[in-house]
Structure 1
Amino acid sequence: MANIFKFKPLLKQTIWGGERIVPFKRLECNMDQVGESWEISGVKGQETVVDGGPYDGLTTNELVATLRDRLLGRDNYLRYGDEFPLLIKFIDAAGDLSVQVHPDDATAMRHGRKRGKTEMWYVMDSEPSATLMVGLKRSITPDEYKALVANGTICDAISRYNVKEGDCFYIPSGRIHSIGAGCFLTEIQQTSDVTYRIYDFKRKDKDGNFRELHTAEAADAIDYQVQESYRTEYDRVKNEPAELVDCPYFRTALYDLDEPMTLDYSELDSFVILIGVCGEGTLTCDDGTSATLSAGHTLLLPATTGIVGVSGKVKFLETYIA
């Protein structure tokens, strides 16, 4: 089986959304305040749909149920069944996102959810003023956390970073975080939509209501350990993979190519997702199947994929589960 799958994106209008995603993806639509483009999603009720080819029109999870281990890989199919295990997003923040935290799997299940959420961010071409917050910068107790939320000073306890294209942050479950105004980034995460909102800058929604906070749930989910830095450091190399994240839920590398390269997936028991962040290239599989990978495009390669040649000047993220 040789297929390169494309999906129709799910565009999400948000109160903090910007105007970058539609032109970045070269879409013909007039939507404004698009905060997120869900590129590949198996979240129940919010699944992406295959765009073109012999499986055109199937939802992501219907594709998994049809192809099973041929799509996910044997171990991944045993682990996740007919639910696609990763959610891929582009995020454009014209305003600050809420301060939030995601539970780990055990905490989520205690609260009646299927699983928690671990994620990562890769920052693309953002505004010069762009910042984000990740991790506690000083030690606090759960009671101190609740007091800081109550008096509106919780942000004073979180590390803030100025960011630019190429920056990377790993957000394991339990790590408090917020995407700031001006950030444009790719997010890779577990298939889960569980978020505990900690602080929302006293904003109101379109109906004039404050959005719900989850202070107690978040207190139970936060990892209160303090680290010196939460930024992911990596070697910024060309024409070879730069490893960004290697965790139980996904493994992600960055490729910045200006010469042809061969990717060998023949021994990998996993699907592979390729996310274009800059430039344009051509993928050619060993059976002759080909596709264009360019900025704003996301492609899914099944676990049966062998050798893939990449040509052109293109920067992309590669992620899979192994």
Structure 2
Amino acid sequence: MAEEYYKKVLKLSSSRVWRTYYGGKELDKWHGKTSPEDGELPEDWIASTVNARNPGRESILDEGLSYVILEGGGRRLLKALIEEDPDAFLGTVHTERFGSQTGVLVKMIDSLSRLTIQVHPDKRFAKEVLNSNYGKTESWYILGGREVNGEVPHVFFGFKPGITREVWQDLFNRQDIPGMLNSLHKIPVNAGDVFFIEGGVPHAIGAGCFLIEVQEPTDYTLRTERTTPEGRTIPELLIHQGAGLKSLFDCFHYDSFTEEETIAKWRKEPQTIYSSIDSDEAVLIGEDTTTLFGMNRINVRVAYQSAAKSTFAIAVIVKGAGEIAWEDGSLIVRQGDFLFMPVGIGSVRWTAASGTELQIVVCTPPFPVLGWNGYLPSESLC
């Protein structure tokens, strides 16, 4: 069956995931649902081969995993399909290093409530403490948001000067939530903002944020709040992920910066690599920021020819409608679609439907042996 699918662009079904915080109404609207509402499924996991870590929900064996929509009806786990022929779907350059693991996870997030203050493991901590080859360094591309209780969308990010391990641990022991929040910079966010969140950096997505997240493929989130802002108790496993409380504080990087320094270090400016009257493409997260993943944005007003990449890719249709075409086929796409593009697809042509602008965010896996953002050095970027 694998051969039938690795030669075409695959459409993925929505995969909503339970979390400890509330949200999802903006995600429902974005998907075009007639009765959007907030609830306990505020995230949509895209091209995921990773299970969500949700204590008490272990019986939901496929929570977090993505399904391919099969022609003629039905669906199949993307993970199972890839495992039939990893080289064909992911490419031998990738599989020689990562096997059948994609090495990347993409999410849509819509927060009605503030997420708990948290930190993700870097590579060293993940390997030495959690026995994982992947940490959870990530990036956010802000799509928009909403005011909640009179506050504009915002994030909490990075330690302020003067916050040491001893100060941070004392705040945790006393569960001084206002003190912990005040230890981090509160930064308003706007549509188009891009942030890079390295493993070890403390943070929390605030209420009202709607964003795309690209990250290493784990669900390792260590938290410092024992209850959510709504009063829900956080299970002990989700506090330290089984590593123990001492290791929880080992996970943080205790570098501290002013707000201006924090923004300069972690907020990234999109870099335009192609522009014409018909279309443009910008690097949101490139190899100059990290080799763990990549993220580009393509705006199509008429048409755009994307050069063949030497790796697979994951695409989110952010807005508009149109078509993606490759050598052996084509697919109609619209806002809310998720696509998996196997390595062998080659060059693709995006065409916007009449009267609409098509916007696509394309995410790529780790590329330590490749050139800029998944392209071989000799390849054109436009």
Task: Tell me, in whole angstroms, the C-alpha distance in 1 between the residues paired with 2:246 and 2:299.
Answer: 43
Alignment-derived partner of residue 68 in structure 2: 50
Aligned mate of 2:219, from 193, 208, 212: 193
Aligned mate of 2:180, from 146, 149, 154: 154
Alignment-derived partner of residue 269 in structure 1: 310
Aligned mate of 2:249, from 215, 219, 224: 219
Deviation of 1:54 (Å): 8.7
Aligned mate of 2:128, from 93, 110, 117: 110
**Are residue 18 (structure 1) and residue 24 (structure 2) matched?**
yes
Q: CA RMSD of the aligned region, Å?
A: 2.4
203 and 211 in structure 1: CA distance in 2 versus 1, 3 angstrom threshold: farther
Contact 1:131/1:160 (<8 A) preserved: yes
Alignment-derived partner of residue 4 in structure 1: 9
Alignment-derived partner of residue 364 in structure 2: 320
The residue type paired with residue 116 of structure 1 is G
**Are residue 285 (structure 1) and residue 326 (structure 2) matched?**
yes
Q: Larger deviation: 185-194 or 65-74? A: 65-74
Per the alignment, in what secondary structure is the counterpart of residue 2 of structure 1? Answer: coil
Q: Larger deviation: 184-193 or 128-137? A: 128-137
210 and 173 in structure 1: CA distance in 2 versus 1, 3 angstrom threshold: closer
Aligned mate of 2:80, from 62, 76, 91: 62
**Offset from partner CA, 1:127-170 (integer Å, 9 cap, x none):** 15111112223242211111233333111121221111111111
**Offset from partner CA, 1:218-262 (integer Å, 9 cap, x none):** 321112223402211225786222111122211111112212110
Aligned mate of 1:80, from 98, 111, 114: 98
Deviation of 1:211 (Å): 4.5
**Offset from partner CA, 1:16-36 (integer Å, 9 cap, x none):** 223122231235788741311
Task: Tell me, in whole angstroms, the C-alpha distance in 2 between the residues paired with 1:257 and 1:137.
Answer: 40
Task: Tell me, in whole angstroms, the C-alpha distance in 2 between the residues paired with 1:19 and 1:319.
Answer: 24
Unaligned runs of 5+ in 2: 1-5, 52-60, 368-382
The residue type paired with residue 126 of structure 1 is G
The residue type paired with residue 270 of structure 2 is Y
Deviation of 1:195 (Å): 0.6
**Are residue 39 (structure 1) and residue 46 (structure 2) matched?**
yes
The residue type paired with residue 274 of structure 1 is A
Alignment-derived partner of residue 234 in structure 1: 270
Task: Tell me, in whole angstroms, the C-alpha distance in 1 between the residues paired with 2:113 and 2:107.
Answer: 17
Contact 1:131/1:161 (<8 A) preserved: yes
180 and 202 in structure 1: CA distance in 2 versus 1, 3 angstrom threshold: closer
Task: Tell me, in whole angstroms, the C-alpha distance in 2 between the residues paired with 1:60 and 1:28.
Answer: 28
Contact 1:71/1:270 (<8 A) preserved: no
Contact 1:37/1:90 (<8 A) preserved: yes
235 and 39 in structure 1: CA distance in 2 versus 1, 3 angstrom threshold: same
Q: Larger deviation: 196-205 or 66-75? A: 196-205
**Are residue 145 (structure 1) and residue 168 (structure 2) matched?**
yes
97 and 179 in structure 1: CA distance in 2 versus 1, 3 angstrom threshold: same
Per the alignment, in what secondary structure is the counterpart of residue 21 of structure 1? Answer: helix
Contact 1:99/1:177 (<8 A) preserved: yes
Of Structure 1 and Structure 2, the greater helix share is in 2
Aligned mate of 2:196, from 156, 159, 170: 170
Aligned pair count reads 316
TM-score by length of structure 1 reads 0.89
**Are residue 244 (structure 1) and residue 284 (structure 2) matched?**
yes
The residue type paired with residue 242 of structure 1 is A
Contact 1:92/1:185 (<8 A) preserved: yes
**Offset from partner CA, 1:251-279 (integer Å, 9 cap, x none):** 111112212110011xx321011111122
Task: Tell me, in whole angstroms, the C-alpha distance in 1 between the residues paired with 2:188 and 2:300.
Answer: 26
278 and 218 in structure 1: CA distance in 2 versus 1, 3 angstrom threshold: farther
**Offset from partner CA, 1:11-55 (integer Å, 9 cap, x none):** 124442231222312357887413111122111443211112399
